[in-house]
């Protein structure tokens, strides 16, 4: 039950920040920390011609729906896909653009945390540390 609540919290966090980025045009006053305007105006800000923040809104909404209706296998698949995209976007920010958008990082880490919550890694760590 706590897992479902945590997924709900991080999905709502992801939706709210994605919606904020989608509704507000980035400029120099947009982000007080980091370089949101250069990241959000880069060629990597769209995937297949669709704004990444809009894709984020739909992704987190779908996560909310499947979390609510208890579709574990679909939720695991989507969270894995979301975590891969999040890691890709973090890599692009840090190593290609060499700029950081902290709003984007909140969205990316929300997707990664949802992935971690969907898989019970405790049993793997128990096997490793017990020998």
> Domain segments of the chain: what residues?
2-130
Q: How do residues 8-42 score in pLDDT, each as one tens digit? A: 999 999 999 999 989 886 665 666 666 777 888 88
pLDDT at residue 129, rounded to an integer:
75
Separation between Cα atoms, residue 37 and residue 35, nearest integer Å: 6
Q: Token digits for 44?
A: 């990597």
**pLDDT at site 64:** 96
pLDDT for res 122: 72
The residues near 9 (Cβ < 8 Å, ≥ 6 apart) are none
What is the pTM for the complete model shown?
0.88
For the chain, list residues with pLDDT below 50. Answer: none
Q: 2-130 has which fold?
A: de novo design (two linked rop proteins) (1.20.1440)
- Residue 94 is encoded by which pair of tokens? 């840090």
């Amino acid at each position: 039950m706590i897992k479902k609540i945590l997924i709900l919290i991080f999905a709502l966090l992801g939706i709210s920040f994605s919606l904020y980025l989608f509704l507000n045009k980035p400029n120099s006053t947009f982000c007080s920390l980091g370089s949101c305007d250069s990241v959000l105006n880069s060629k990597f800000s769209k995937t297949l011609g669709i704004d990444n923040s809009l894709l984020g809104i739909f992704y987190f909404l779908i996560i909310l729906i499947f979390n609510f209706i208890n579709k574990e296998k679909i939720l695991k698949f989507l969270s894995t896909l979301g975590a891969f995209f999040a890691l890709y976007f973090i890599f692009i920010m840090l190593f290609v653009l060499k700029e950081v958008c902290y709003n984007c990082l909140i969205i990316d880490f929300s997707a990664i945390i949802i992935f971690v919550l969907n898989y019970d890694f405790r049993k793997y760590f128990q096997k490793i540390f017990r020998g």
